[in-house]
Amino acid sequence: MDYNYLADLLFPDVTLTPADMEARYPRRQLPEGAKVTRFAPSPTGYVHFGGLFPTTVSERLAHQSGGVFYLRIEDTDAKREVPGAKEALINTLAHYGIVFDEGAVIGGDKGDYGPYTQSKRREIYHVYAKQLVRDGRAYPVFTTEEELAAMNAVDKKAEVKAKDWHEDDGAQREEMLKWREFTIEEVEAHLKAGHPFVLRMLSDGDPDKKIKVTDLVRGTLEIPENDRDEVLLKSDGIPSYHFAHVVDDHLMGTTHVVRGEEWLPSLARHLMLFRFLGFKPPKYLHIAQLLTTAVDEDGKTVKKKLSKRDMGANLDDYERLGYDPICVNEYVMTLLNSNYEEWHAANPDKSSRDFEFSVKKMSVSGCLFDMNKLDDVSKNMVSRMTADEVYEKTLAWAEKFDPEFAGILKAHADTARAALGIGRGGAKPRKDIARFDEVRGYIGFMFDELFERRDEVPDNFDKADVAAAVTKYIDIYDENDDQTTWFDKIKSLAAELGFAPETKLYKKNPTEYKGHVGDISMFLRIAVTGRASSPDMYEVMRILGADTVKRRLADYVK
Ligand code: GLU
């Protein structure tokens, strides 16, 4: 068959050649070892938490090596597209410090390798599609009149898609072999009749043979050769992911493709296409799915993919819940690199971006997502922030998600900062806050607007004793007392009411006392804060001031 003629028949409007494309997109001039990586999402209006993994790896590989990290929008599946999704995605990632050097950024493309949106690259794909036909590496599969009629022309696209065939399906495979048989006259007749066609690659692989490929995370893999005539162009001329991936990553100079392991089964196909097109393939890193635990029907805990419906799957939720992006990044790094936690413990003042990220330390089997672990990591990070930092970050969060609390924080800035400072600094800081939405619950009692009586003194204490302790304390509380004097007063009050002034005295002779000094402190805590647990009471009282402390004590016994 005259493939040049066939190519001209199928793509009469394509006049540019691969050489023109190479000239338009010259190889990048970067220092030795600089890596070029990309994030290539479909704009579905949703960033999965798992999306932070390939993006973090890509961003790190590029920026650690003085390379380039760019954004390419893969919108060849128009059905999945959501308007405004691109902007939302860019903003969401920027919140986590993932910023692109070039690509489909807000306000238009930035960089010399665009367009960075696949739907705008149609003519480029067609240049290479025509070349593949010329080289006898691709062929058309037409949809006939009968097929169109059978479909009742309801959805031509769906019908052409239905012609896709699947591995392990003998009948389909036979059909594929049939599609390969055609004459130029048939092609001419189809084109004349206006029949649409799908362009498929003509695979030369033998599935009984294996090829060796190196994945930087998984090592050397032996995978069967590809024998599938993958769709390159759909009947509307739009490329498949496979074709667009190969053309784009070649022209845009990607050195490392970091993507989900779900693409591993297509790898042999992609490598074949790189060979057909005479391109050098990039290095690949196939990242394992993010797993979570679930309870199955038999009540057993099992691991499963973190799916869209699972708690914690939508990256945007983390901002709303009040996780500091620094904490989320910290958690992602602990999952990505097994030596990260140890490194950060040794370098607590450094940022995760100072860590030398290593592909070799990545897990092959997949990371287990655990919200409790995220909370632990987060509590640790927040405990190391200054009170001012926590105040500012909480205020910024509250202005967006809890305006009432934001107003209170602003009206009582000094109180809020002081309360957030309790137990901070020092070798063992308090670890109460994982998320900024917890701050309201943590220090809310400090503000009269949010003060509520939440906990009660347990019934086993005599109400008269509780009232006596609280009433007497009104007279003896002095905000100028130092901590020792302050506590001595509570001890004497305990003794006066028949409670042991030391816990150990009580433990020795429990029958001799009504309780111990800790119980008296508890009565006072409940009277002043409305709850049974709170940060250090001496500090809390000092920050509230004598007036408020005495007013709340008096209210309690009213
Ligand atoms: N658009 C593909 C996806 O969203 C990109 C995969 C890749 O990074 O090559 O899964």
Q: How large is the average pLDDT for residues 41-55?
A: 85
d(CA 157, CA 410): 57
- pLDDT for 42 equals 87
The protein residue whose alpha carbon is closest to atom 1 in ligand 1 is 41
Q: Are 200 and 222 in contact (CB under 8 A)?
A: no
Inter-residue contact 445 to 451 (CB < 8 Å): yes
Instruction: Give the Cα separation of 535 and 525 in Å (integer).
Output: 10
User: Measuring from atom 10 of ligand 1, which residue has the nearest CA?
Assistant: 41
CA distance 199 to 244: 13
Task: Encode pLDDT of 127-137 as tens digits.
Answer: 999 999 999 99
Helix runs in 73-213, H state only:
85-95, 122-134, 145-150, 156-162, 170-179, 184-192
Residues with Cβ < 8 Å from 346, sequence gap 6 or more?
A: none
Instruction: Give residue 74 CA to ligand 1 midpoint distance, Å.
Output: 7
Q: What is the pLDDT of residues 57-79, one digit of tens each?
A: 999 999 999 999 999 999 987 66
Q: How far is it, in rounded angstroms, from Cα 139 to Cα 275?
A: 17
Q: What is the pLDDT of residue 310?
A: 81
Residue 50's pLDDT is 85
- pLDDT tens for residues 292-302? 888 888 989 88
Lowest mean pLDDT among 42-51, 107-116, 317-326: 42-51
State how beta strands 367-368 and 290-295 pair: parallel
| Mean local confidence (pLDDT), 507-536 | 95
The arithmetic mean of pLDDT across residues 114-127, rounded, is: 96
Single out the residue of 138, 106, 91, 129 nearest to residue 14, CA to CA.
129
Which residue has better confidence, 518 or 79? Answer: 518
pLDDT reading at 221 higher than 90: yes
- The protein residue whose alpha carbon is closest to atom 7 in ligand 1 is 259
- Contact residues of ligand 1, CB 6 A cut-off: 40-42, 74, 245, 257, 259
Convert the pLDDT of each residue in 467-491 to its tens digit. Answer: 999 999 999 999 999 999 999 999 9
Which of 7-11, 355-359, 399-403, 415-419 bottoms out in mean pLDDT, i.e. has the lowest?
A: 355-359
Distance, in Å, from the CA atom of 133 to the CA atom of 479, rounded to the nearest integer, reads 88
- Of ligand 1's listed atoms, the one at least distance from the Cα of 39 is 8
165, pLDDT greater than 80 = no
pTM for the whole structure: 0.87
Residue type, 372: N
Per-residue pLDDT band at 170 (split at 50, 70, 90): low
Q: Which two tokens stand for residue 340?
A: 């990260």
In this predicted structure, the answer to whether residue 149 has a pLDDT above a threshold of 80 is: no
